[in-house]
Amino acid sequence: MTDNQLRLVWIYPDLLSTYGDQGNALVVERRARQRGLDVARLDVRSDQPIPTSGDIYLIGGGEDRPQRLAAERLRRDGGLHRAVGNGAIVFSVCAGYQILGHEFINDLGQREPGLGLLDVVSTRGEGERCVGDVLGDIDPRLGLPQLTGFENHQGVTHLGPSARPLAQVRLGKGNGTGDGTEGAYNDTVFGTYMHGPVLARNPLIADLLLKLALDVNALPPIDDRWYEALRGERIAAAQQPA
């Protein structure tokens, strides 16, 4: 972070923003401002270059065709790679998560190269689409409470050796590989299948992104527990028999 300003970049709202994923940018922005940070939020459309000097980049989910277009443009642009090389934090959801991996299956049924920023490969699930509420235990190393989210994807994501699962599902499919893993992360790049938007349901993940970007172990506490009611409601709903 330079000039005491946190630069938040929301990538391609015109292509990738299903299920309210743009809420993730709102939550990070708000929780940063509540800590007194000066935040510059930049929404970058797919015909604009990705700035390389951002601190946190957010990328959402999308339908299969916009996902292919987004992958093509991000590969051609190269800015996100440079930003990660500069130490930026990236948080991605669903289609965005698949794009950050090595490859995924596109809307034409072909193998589409991703950005290779996460050591994952996505294939097309042969079974039913993964749809519904998800509950999971986040990797204990991250010190975060239970994960709650909503998934809707056909893709199945396999983790390579340098990616750690973000969570283990108690309910739902997550990566869809049958091993109970959900999402993936390395030191600075995170991916999840969770919509919701996931950072509104799990604001302490937003705080984790802020801590990583600011390179601090703790943030000033904020008296803001609005999300507990939302979390409680969604966790209870997920546990109702179908």
Q: Which stretch binds ligand GLN (CB under 6 A): 60-68, 112-120, 183-191, 196-204?
A: 60-68
Largest distance between two CA atoms of the chain? 51
Cβ 197 vs Cβ 91: under 8 Å: no
Give CA separation, 8 vs 1, 31, 66, 102, 190, in Å. Answer: 11, 12, 22, 24, 15
154 binds ligand GLN (CB under 6 A): yes
Cβ 7 vs Cβ 53: under 8 Å: yes
157 binds ligand GLN (CB under 6 A): no
Smallest distance, Å, CB 95 to ligand GLN?
3
Catalytic residues: 94, 195
Query: By rule CB under 6 A, what string of x and - marks binding of each residue 70-109 to ligand GLN?
Result: ------------------------xx--------------
Vertex 234, ends 220 and 141: CA angle to 5°?
Answer: 50
Q: Which stretch binds ligand GLN (CB under 6 A): 47-55, 112-120, 151-159, 213-221?
A: 151-159
Pick 6 or 99: Cβ nearer ligand GLN: 99
Pick 33 or 129: Cβ nearer ligand GLN: 129
Residues from 2 through 31 that contact ligand GLN (CB under 6 A): 18
- Residues forming the annotated binding site for substrate? 129
Cβ 93 vs Cβ 194: under 8 Å: yes
149 binds ligand GLN (CB under 6 A): no
Q: Which residues of the chain form contacts with ligand GLN (CB under 6 A)?
A: 18, 61-62, 64, 67, 94-95, 152-155
